[in-house]
A and B are shown apart, each in its own frame.
Chain A
Amino acid sequence: MTTSVQSVLAAVVSITRTVAGVLSNPVVAAVLPTGAIPGYLLLAAALAERGEAAQGDLVALDAQIKAAVAQGRGLSVDELAQWKQRDDVATASIATWLAAQANAKAAPAK
């Protein structure tokens, strides 16, 4: 991904967050029938941000695959083990988050 494209993506995320922030302002919200639009935009910005971050990792994965193709093999045992390790970390993190949500729901209301 070129630097200029990265800059454009960063600007899109920034502008979206700014617009969402303005719409969240109580005064603006009082005069505009925006309803859930700020939350909607914030989610769009968050997803765009995630997409931007994913691109960096896709570039790295693409480089590993291209090197493997050039050598007529698959990913090395070490490379695959590193992906698996990252998978395990993310799995544990997501499971912990879901468990915390379930516990919060199960806790008696005060």
Chain B
Amino acid sequence: MKVISSRTLVLAAIATFAIAACAHDPVADSKTIEQKADAVYGEYVIAKEQVQALLADPSVDAATKTKIANATVATTPAADDLFSGLTAYSSAESDLVASKGTQAAVDTAVANLSKWLAQAQPLVDELMTLVGGAKK
């Protein structure tokens, strides 16, 4: 996330350090690719809501808010792909259970979901760190 200054990242690291000891990690608790994707998407939404709250905080200057908002927007396409991958997987699996789909369709959905997850996870981790919500 190159739009964020090193100074902001240092601040985020300080904030993260203060809270890391008590954090929860839904991604680490998940077992399957679908559960991991669910967890990463949820974390993305949580981070985004914190950015939304930060934009309403009068103690933060407009330039910093703009950088953080732009960094969040830059993460959105990967998160949208991840959500699409999750719904596609869910649909393929439901079709298979209802004998309307094939195992091949589920396998394709899993492969796509895995790709979207690999793309989104580092970006979401960075966003979580930025808003001080990093996990341990």
Contact = CB atoms under 8 A, between A and B. Distances in A.
Interface of A: 1-2, 5-6, 9, 12, 17, 20, 39-40, 42-55, 57-59, 61-62, 64-66, 68-69, 73-75, 77, 80, 83-84, 86-87, 89-91, 93-95, 97-98, 101
Question: What secondary structure prevails in chain B residues at the interface with A?
Answer: helix
Nearest to B64: A43
B43 A58 contact: yes
A86 B44 CA distance: 11
Given A44-B14, A94-B48, A94-B72, A53 B53 contact: yes
Given A55-B24, A97-B55, A40 B46 contact: no
Contact of A93 (B15, B25, B55): B55
Nearest to A47: B15
Question: What secondary structure prevails in chain A residues at the interface with B?
Answer: helix
B29 A66 contact: yes
Contacts of B128: 54
Contact of B47 (A49, A54, A91, A93): A54
A5, A6, A91 — which one has the most chain B CB atoms within 10 A of its CB?
A: A91
B69 interface: yes
Q: Size class of B's contact patch?
A: 35 or more
B65 to A, nearest CB: 7
Contacts of B48: 87, 90-91, 94
B8 interface: yes
Minimum-distance CB pairs A-B, first 8: A51-B132, A54-B133, A74-B34, A47-B15, A50-B50, A42-B59, A62-B24, A61-B42
B26 interface: yes
Contacts of A84: 83
